[in-house]
């Protein structure tokens, strides 16, 4: 019984005997346990990712074969959306707007922040639960309501929101009823994120184990910490903007409606005097930090997995942490680089270009540190590690192709083309989503006590890696050819788009085949719950505190509050008995 984890385990067994039993509803549905909520978030996030992906697969049909009726399922969508199986532009717009909204706000954020944050963060800091368990539950159910509102909006007359995930005014103000639903849904989602963020922050500050100073935090904890600050401070302006747009739509105000706006040849009868660019400012004041909300947890996950599987401490941990904090701060003053197209003045453009170039430095520091961490390691290429290593070049492509977009002069010709789509998808899809997949494979044993199947995992990885690139690489080509990213028919009506039309077919087949390669994952995910290889508390021989808890951890996590004695990544310490020295082990 020299291993403290064993002690904890044994005491837990004794403890369990007088543990109160909760009913099914309180235990699995309206639970206040951070692990159950984390799993709820993850499942919800995964389902929405799948749903958002399906919307995109429909769009890809229209882009590859514009105007051709969709075989087999084309008739299911009704005459208002796809008469005879041919997609109407409005339905394409619905799909586009909802794909973006769902992937960002209901897919990646719930999984990366709500799911991993909730499940892993309290365990990693040695806390029994979140600081405010009831608020935590409220946060999940608020997300759930927001998600249902978004889904419900597909069934209102005129369909779901069609003004893009950015909902630019004035288009969004004069759009159909779906947009009102979108706004109400967003208010639920924002509430969820705010409640979640203040919970994470309080938990991290207050409930970290004894001896776990900030510089002993695993990088994942730091990533979630900074992310929570971004959510806390960036979302309220979007909430304000949402309220104003709701007022514009419902109460007839003109916050975003300029005077004398002509729609279909008729002057709109509103008071006018509003400012359409104001919406963009408020939206991007959220949405740029949101980009970091999407990427920072991913970096955190990748850092954990790389340190664990190279059996080495992270290279430049301190520099990474400082970069992270700096990144978080800078992300609040770069938003207008999304808005060079609004014709902003040179002084303002110069400011935002400068900050944009500056913000790339800490990102590069983190990515480089992760890359250098591989140097000289005895790397174990298991599924989580494969995804984590693939993250590095994929995110690298995404990041580097973003540089021309940060400069006014090169952004203007590229901004409304497929180049932008390719750029940010490289950041989010093979970037963040790969990291999230890595995280699922990595922490699955903690949640279930079993490993996911490695062979299926590797098939999933190989297929995803290949086809991610088949999907997005052609978009750079299409984008550089100048094809607008908002055309429902991929530009088939324009002569200049003709030379690149065949790339859309390649891209689309890539997307559908990537869909096929998610099937092993889905199967693996459910199959392994009962049939995966049974493992102990610390299957990856990791150093961080979450591995001290039993797998799966009981309500309350640790029978005895753990204590941190050292930094997070004490791997291969010279002279140590084994190649890892857990944080919670007294020397």
**Smallest separation (angstroms) from other proteins to the CB of 85:** 10
160: three-class secondary structure by DSSP: strand
Between 86 and 469, CB nearer to other proteins: 86
Identity of the residue, 238 or 456, whose beta carbon is nearer to other proteins in the bound complex? 238
Closest approach of Cβ 269 to other proteins, in Å? 10
Look-up of token digits 């080495």: 312
Interatomic CA distance for residues 467 and 198, integer angstroms = 38
CB of 316 to other proteins, least distance (A): 27
* Number of helices and strands in the chain (H, E): 20, 2
Kindly tell me which of 23 and 574 has the beta carbon lying closer to other proteins.
23
Nearer to other proteins, 184 or 301 (CB): 184
d(CA 379, CA 308): 9
Q: What are phi and psi of 311, to 5 degrees?
A: 55, 40
Instruction: State the Cα–Cα distance between residues 430 and 560, nearest whole angstrom.
Output: 40
At residue 99, the 3 state secondary structure works out as helix
Q: Sign of the C-alpha dihedral, residues 40, 198, 317, 541?
A: negative
| H or E element at residue 266 | strand 266-267
Residue 534 corresponds to which tokens in the numbers above? 């049974």
**Contact between residue 551 and residue 535 where contact means Cβ atoms under 8 Å apart:** yes
Residues within the interface to other proteins (CB under 8 A)? 66-69, 79, 83-84, 86-90, 128-133, 135, 157-158, 194, 197-199, 201-202, 205-207, 232-237, 239-241, 243-244, 247, 251-255, 264-266, 270-271, 273-275, 278, 281-282, 285, 488-489, 493, 555-556, 561
**Closer Cβ to other proteins, 198 or 452, answer by number:** 198
- In angstroms, give the least distance from the CB of 425 to other proteins: 26
Measured from the CB atom, is 275 or 360 closer to other proteins? 275
Q: Which is nearer to other proteins, 424 or 494 (CB)?
A: 494
Neighbours of 2 (CB within 10 A): 6
Output the smallest distance, CB 336 to other proteins, in A. Answer: 13
C-beta separation of 435 from 299 below 8 A: yes
Least separation, in Å, of the C-beta of 186 and other proteins? Answer: 14
Closest distance of CB 479 from other proteins, Å: 22
Q: How far is 96 from 490, CA to CA, in rounded Å?
A: 13
Of 69 and 393, which has the nearer Cβ to other proteins?
A: 69
Give a three-class secondary structure readout of 112-133: HHHHHHHHHHHHHCCCCCCCCH
Contact residues for 552 (Cβ-Cβ < 8 A; gap 6+): 35, 446, 447, 448, 449
194 in Cβ contact with 292 (< 8 Å) = no
In the bound state with other proteins, the residue whose beta carbon lies nearer, of 206 and 455, is 206
Q: 73 or 243, CB closer to other proteins? A: 243
Residue 291: name the closest of 141, 399, 389, 196 by CA.
399
The SS3 assignment for 21 reads coil
Which of residues 90 and 541 has its CB atom nearest to other proteins in the complex? 90
Q: How far is CA 331 from CA 295, 316, 494, in A?
A: 12, 22, 38
Cα end-to-end span (Å), the chain? 15
Q: How far is the CB of 422 from other proteins (least distance, A)?
A: 25
407/410 Cα distance (integer angstroms): 6
Closer of 10 and 561 to other proteins (Cβ): 561
* CA gap 290, 187 in Å, rounded: 15
Structure tokens belonging to residue 582: 């857990």
Enumerate the H helices of 207-312 as residue ranges.
219-246, 276-310
Question: Within a 10 A sphere around the Cβ of 502, how many other Cβ atoms?
Answer: 12
Residue (80 or 350) nearer to other proteins, CB: 80
Smallest gap from Cβ 326 to other proteins, in A, equals 20
């Amino acid at each position: 019984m020299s291993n403290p984890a064993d002690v904890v385990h044994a005491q837990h067994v004794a403890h369990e005997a007088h543990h109160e039993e909760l009913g099914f509803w309180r235990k699995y549905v309206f639970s206040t346990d951070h692990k159950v909520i984390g799993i709820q978030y993850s499942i919800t996030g995964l389902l929405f990712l799948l749903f958002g992906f399906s919307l995109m697969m429909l769009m890809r049909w229209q882009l590859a074969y514009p105007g051709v009726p969709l075989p087999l399922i084309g008739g299911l969508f009704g005459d208002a959306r796809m008469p005879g199986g041919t997609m109407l532009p409005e339905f394409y717009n619905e799909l586009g707007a909802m794909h973006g909204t769902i992937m960002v706000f209901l897919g990646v954020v719930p999984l990366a922040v709500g799911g991993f944050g909730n499940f892993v963060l309290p365990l990693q800091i040695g806390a029994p639960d979140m600081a405010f368990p009831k608020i935590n539950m409220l946060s999940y159910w608020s997300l759930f309501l927001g998600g249902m509102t978004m889904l419900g909006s597909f069934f209102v007359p005129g369909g779901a929101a069609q003004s893009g995930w950015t909902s630019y005014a004035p288009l969004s103000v004069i759009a159909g009823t779906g947009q009102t639903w979108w706004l109400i849904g967003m208010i639920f989602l924002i509430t969820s994120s705010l409640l979640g963020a203040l919970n994470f922050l309080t938990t991290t500050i207050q409930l970290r184990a004894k001896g776990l100073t900030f510089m002993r935090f695993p990088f994942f904890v730091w990533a979630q910490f900074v992310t929570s600050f971004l959510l806390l401070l960036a979302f309220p302006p979007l909430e304000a903007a949402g309220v104003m747009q709701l007022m514009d739509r419902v109460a007839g105000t003109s916050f975003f409606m300029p005077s004398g706006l002509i729609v279909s040849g008729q002057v709109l009868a509103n008071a006018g005097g509003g400012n359409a660019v104001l919406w963009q400012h408020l939206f991007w004041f959220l949405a740029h930090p949101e980009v970091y909300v999407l990427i920072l947890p991913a970096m955190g996950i990748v850092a954990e997995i790389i340190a664990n599987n190279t059996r080495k401490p992270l290279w430049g941990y301190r520099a990474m942490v400082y970069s992270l904090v700096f990144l978080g701060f800078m992300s609040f003053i770069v938003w207008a680089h999304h808005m060079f197209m609004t014709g902003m003045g040179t002084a303002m453009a110069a400011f935002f270009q400068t900050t944009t170039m500056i913000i790339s430095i800490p990102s590069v520091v983190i990515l480089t540190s992760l890359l250098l961490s591989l140097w000289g390691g005895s790397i174990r290429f298991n599924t989580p590690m494969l995804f984590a290593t693939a993250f590095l070049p994929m995110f690298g492509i995404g990041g580097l192709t973003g540089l021309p977009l940060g400069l006014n002069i090169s952004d203007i010709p590229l901004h409304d083309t497929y180049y932008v789509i390719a750029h940010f998808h490289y950041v989010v899809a093979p970037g963040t989503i790969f990291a999230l997949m890595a995280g699922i494979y990595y922490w699955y044993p903690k949640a279930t006590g079993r490993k996911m199947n490695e062979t299926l995992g590797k098939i999933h990885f190989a297929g995803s890696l290949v086809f991610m690139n088949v999907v997005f690489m052609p978009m750079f080509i299409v984008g550089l050819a100048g094809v607008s990213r908002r055309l429902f028919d991929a530009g088939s009506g324009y002569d200049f788009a003709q030379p690149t039309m065949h790339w859309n077919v390649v891209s689309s087949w890539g997307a559908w085949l990537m869909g096929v390669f998610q099937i092993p994952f889905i199967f693996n995910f459910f199959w392994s719950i009962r049939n995966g290889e049974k493992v102990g508390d610390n299957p990856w021989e990791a150093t961080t505190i979450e591995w001290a808890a039993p797998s799966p951890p009981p309500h309350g996590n640790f029978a005895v509050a753990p204590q941190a004695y050292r930094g997070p990544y004490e791997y291969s310490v010279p002279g140590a008995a084994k190649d890892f020295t857990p944080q919670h082990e007294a020397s």
